Amino acid sequence: MRSAAVKLAGAGALAAVLAAAVSRRRVVGRLVRHLVVKAAGAPNYTPLPPPKKVKVALCQLHVTADKEQNWQTARRAIQDAASRGAQLVVLPEMWNCPYSNDSFPVYAEELQAPGGALSPSLTVLSEAAAAARVTLVGGSIPERCGGRLYNTCCVFNSRGELLAKHRKVHLFDIDIPGKITFKESLTLSPGPGPTVVDTEAGRLGLGICYDIRFPELAQLYAERGCQVLVYPGAFNMTTGPVHWELLARARAVDNQLFVLTCSPARNPDSSYQAWGHSTAVGPFAEVLATTEAAPDIVLAELDYSQLAERRANMPLRGQKRHDLYRLLEKTAA
């Protein structure tokens, strides 16, 4: 009887609170928002790794139809970047072959043999990273796996060990009449999801070219505590002038992170004309360093202490209305 009386008393108290709340609209609003947030749960942001300064190099390479020549070009650029003090080196999208649906199947490689041996292009990257003692984001190459082709980026540490690979999530399928039509989906398959990798140069979130157009992917990386978003890409002469820098700066300021984009150099002999303009952007959307269309190495220093400073200046994460919207990651373990 006593237990029942306690329950009834509790129910009566709750009823009194609700009755009082109903008479006051603002109280009801706050109560509803509290209950929704409590049910959904605000995202738990992963703490950032310790702040430090990292010098990065974006290698805007001249890419040809000669695969071995492309290997040599990449080797020289990586060594040159390291000699200029770079700790993190980035290569462009499809650095070992022309960017075309005709080329992808011809130049594709199975990245690792059953015994673990690396493919020829990955061997070049592994050896170059170890020789230069840098963290290397190896642009992307066409990957063959299980009867499918992927646009794949591999990351190596300063000992030449393969740390991670990212398969392009969003395929480049566009049709702008009179300007450009390209459909990667004619030859390539989409990757399974986001890729975060901890390196000696910091925690990186990986994307490839068209991936930069999707802010949700960048937001997932921010939630996982990434310090830098890296996008090897090959924008064209139609979208490049208007969107390349705009998107890099948008992803940076939205998530208060550093963003790196690395393009091939423009090759007049190629059927696909890349925009170039490899660029490093800071967490306040400031362009730290960039270039034009010719082969070049873009150098920039990333001061990770700026991430905490910018987030203290504008605490966007704590100001989000998780009672109204929330990002849902479906690939989380």
Domains in the chain: boundaries: 2-40, 56-319
Q: Which residues of 178-188 are buried (b: 16+ CB within 10 A; e: fewer)?
A: eeeebebeebb
Q: Could you give the count of Cα atoms lying within 13 Å of 301 in the half-sphere of its Cβ?
A: 8
The reported pLDDT for the residue numbered 51 is: 83
Which of the following is catalytic: 153, 154, 209, 262?
A: 209
Give the whole-angstrom CA distance, residue 161 versus residue 130.
8
User: What is the pLDDT, as a whole number, of residue 8?
Assistant: 36
- C-alpha 235/C-alpha 261 separation (Å) is 10
Q: Tell me: the pLDDT tens digits for 37-86?
A: 455 567 778 988 888 999 999 999 999 999 999 999 999 999 999 999 99
- In angstroms, the first-to-last Cα distance of the chain is 47
Its pTM stands at 0.88
CA 93/CA 95 separation, integer angstroms: 6
CATH 3.60.110.10 correct for 56-319: yes
At 260 the three-state DSSP class reads strand
pLDDT value at position 243? 98
Q: Would you call 93 a catalytic residue per the annotation? A: yes
Catalytic member of 97, 153, 154, 168: 168
Is 7 marked active-site? no
pLDDT of residue 19: 54
pLDDT the model gives residue 4: 44
The catalytically annotated residue of 67, 93, 109, 165 is: 93
Would residue 209 show up in a list of annotated catalytic residues for this protein? yes
Dihedral over Cα of 138, 139, 141, 146: its sign: positive
In the predicted model, residues of the chain with pLDDT beneath 70 are 1-41, 332-333
